[in-house]
Structure 1
Amino acid sequence: MPAQWSSPVRYVECDQQGLVFNAHYLTWADEASTVWWAAHGLPWDELVARGVEPVVKASALEWSSPARWGDTVTVDAETDRVGTTSATVRFTVRVGTRTCCVVRSTYVATAAGRPTPWPDDVRTLLAG
């Protein structure tokens, strides 16, 4: 089961047509990432305390249908791929069963601002 984050669509997140402005899909993916890390037994503060700071290297979104003011969005976060220094997460933003947008974000493990391999136990948790 994917990690999930949910929120009502706020008026401030919409354009003049009442549709969610596209940048907010990335914000929601970022909100859901905290839940995704924790679901893998890696709460953000504990991961950073270990000296590993994941940073977003790339995000891409593919829009399918609009979320609107008054809707409640749910973001399903699932591991797409785990590599030596990176992990890609797929965030499916939906209203009910209708997919609105899919965001894929790639996180790179860094230490002292430079890419570094995931510790073995972290890679195992991310892949599991």
Structure 2
Amino acid sequence: MTDQNQPPFRFRFRVRYGECDAQGVVFNARYGDFVDISVNEYIRTLFGDYQRLLDQDLDIQVVSLTVNWKAPAKFDEVLEARIRAGRIGTTSFTLHLEFVRFGEEQLIADADITYVLIQPSRMGKTEVPARIRALLEEGAPGVLISHAGEHATAG
């Protein structure tokens, strides 16, 4: 588990119109997408290009995803996903995410996603190698990736 005293990895993104429902808020199912894009950035930061995992005959598959909603998010708001490693087992690991409204620090939702590590060549689970365990334990404290353009100014 990552050191809770360290700042988490952060990924910012902007809510798009098509992600909202008839009530004008982010549709609940979109949070699965938000978890996926946030974790992809986290994995890329930890391991480099995702292809590096595949080149080692390793891949990850989701075995559990839970989301808890706390407040609505709306079109064009910037959300920040904060990610820390949770439990790292023999063949699986869990990541904990918190989604906050950027600039307000309001918790929008939190999620836990558990992956099992597999060998694609045999489509079976495999032990988390020591080097990957170490990267997960270290995390990416203080790293910020933004796709939101929150600092862009009109010209």
TM-score, normalised by the number of residues in structure 1? 0.93
Q: Which has the higher strand share?
A: 1
Q: Which deviates the most, 78-87 or 36-45?
A: 36-45
Deviation at 1:42, TM superposition (A): 4.6
Question: 5+ residue gaps in structure 2?
Answer: 1-6, 139-155
Larger RCO, structure (CA 8 Å, separation 6 or more):
2
Please report the RMSD computed on the Cα atoms of aligned residues, expressed in angstroms.
Answer: 1.2
Task: Name the residue aligned to 1:125.
Answer: 135
Match of 2:45 among 29, 39, 44: 39
Contact preservation (8 Å) 2:86, 2:93 = yes
- 1:50 aligns to 2:56 (yes or no): yes
Task: Name the residue aligned to 1:102.
Answer: 110
Give the share of equivalent positions with the same residue, in percent: 27
When Rg is computed on C-alpha atoms for both structures, the one with the higher figure is: 2
TM-score, normalised by the number of residues in structure 2? 0.78
Residues 116/42 of structure 1: CA separation in 2 closer, same or farther (3 Å cut): farther
> Runs in 1 of length 4+ with deviation above 4 angstroms?
none
Contact preservation (8 Å) 2:47, 2:53 = no
Q: How many residues align?
A: 128
Contact preservation (8 Å) 2:58, 2:117 = yes
Task: Name the residue aligned to 1:28.
Answer: 34
Q: Distance in 1 between matches of 2:86 and 2:42?
A: 12
Q: Indicate the SS of the match to 1:74.
A: strand
Task: Name the residue aligned to 2:151.
Answer: none
